[in-house]
Structure 1
Amino acid sequence: MHPTRTTRPATRGRARALAPLLLLALGATACGGEDTTPSAAGTEDASPSASATPSETPTTATASPTPTATATPEATPSQGPTASATPSASPSASTAPSPTAPPAPAPASSVLLSAAELPRLNDEAPWSVVRTRPVGSEAFGVCARFDALTIGADSGVERTFAHAEDDAAQQVLDFPDPKNASRAAAVLDSWRQGCSSRVPGEGARVRARTDVPLGQGRGWFYLVSWEEDGVGRWESLGMAVSGSRMVLLRMDHAGEDHNYAPGRDPLERGLQRAAAKMG
């Protein structure tokens, strides 16, 4: 009887010891069944399982930003041409039109009239070119007191014409600036006003100045007459100025008179043609 008693209590002890293990196993089996068995509360169960996802998100987010942040700097050098597109906008801005410098004036010689362009004193008196040269120290016209260089011109060119005993001449003068050119024009006009006492010969007469209409700039001319060795002499002199450039034109002829309709004087017409070439 003693051994039997001894064995039963041992069996009961094992059963008691195994009981908790069986409960744990059944609980684990029951939990597994709930995870895999679909139910109407599946949507509600998804929230707790989704809450488990954030617990894994930091691990995933921590790993993924590191390569992504590293890839960004590495991609920047490889895309050097793309990055340089931003600075390239600066050169395009620098290509904005800059103030354009004024065009250089045409050479003075281009303003000189040809023999055919210089109006004739009459239909039977065509002009011929005698010579073309730089202006010198000789005064231009019977009323002039000094040459053009003396009264402020920097440089100039002169062309002379002739027909029988008649002659003509043209000067194209360049001054440092328009102000100096205007001053020289005033000097020329002052010479006209005091010209009578300086004209050689007898019976000198200086006509009033006549303004000449020009496309640009301003101009005028006047007529001087006197008698030399019993022969009448006539000289007409005109001036046109535009900017820092000036044109002087002179015609000298012998005869009993110098009569032309208003606006038809050969010198006036020649001055207009020369002034048109200054533009």
Structure 2
Amino acid sequence: MKENQLNSRRSFIKKTAVLSSALSFGSLGLKAMNNTSGKIESKPSFNLNYAPHIGMFKNHAGENPLDEINFMAEQGFTAFEDNEMRNRPIELQNKIGNLLVDKNMKMGVFVAHKIYWDKPNLTSGAISYREEFLEDIKKSVEVAKRVNATWMTVVPGHLDLNQNINYQTANVVESLKYASEILEKNNLIMVLEPLNFYNHPGLFLTESPQAYQICKSVNSPSCKILFDIYHQQVQEGNLIPNIEKSWDEIAYFQIGDNPGRNEPTTGEINFKNIFKFIHSKGFNGILGMEHGNSLEGKEGEQAVINAYLKSDNFLN
């Protein structure tokens, strides 16, 4: 075979392989073809509002959070979340808020208060802890205004082993009612996050039915559930039925595959089916990408983007 014929054959085989790979992602995958820079050339359109966080694309965008948000927008992401927003300089908060408006992106959750990982606070019923919590909530209202946020994460803290669980629940509910009064006036929502026993042993709030019961008891539009798919896979499994049972109290989702707590497609969870179910319910809120990258560098960041292209392709 002549050299020019051999080169043509090699080129044909290479293009066919690329096309086959792109087709596995559906129409969105075709937009990512001819990608040699590690960056999707045509902006994809996702069916749900997935929210990356600072640091997820630092190898592509650099260390500046504003540059990273710009990169997220270029990849088609329509939301952003940042657990540490409350602790960032006010000047940066204002810049992030303005940039999100400019990019037509939604602001996701940030952590609203000091979390007690190893001793009781809200479960104890102590007035000093309640006052500290409510003061944090008031400060977080101002943060939310700067970044145009609607949701903020609340974790009620550690179990109080000296009290019956029902008394602890009553103490938590009472504190959350006070917080709801503050948040309702500002049209804001705290989302209660159950955390799994394996990563966070000893915490009070662990399961979706428990969060559901608490939200029903607080009975406020400003107190809802953050359903973290990773945590609830570890803690209780049965994901879609539990999402269905808790649906009217869920306001926010977070994502992470198990094991590893990395991007979808790296573990045992069928995210395509879960995303399809959430979409079928008419959900127009945010799904925070609260997970790591399974691979390092630009390759790992591109793998995250590809995982969402693949998992979001549930309508084809």
Return the TM-score normalized by structure 1: 0.25
Higher relative CO (CA 8 A, sep ≥ 6), structure 1 or 2?
2
Which structure: greater helix fraction?
Answer: 2
Structure whose CA Rg is larger: 1
Return the TM-score normalized by structure 2: 0.23
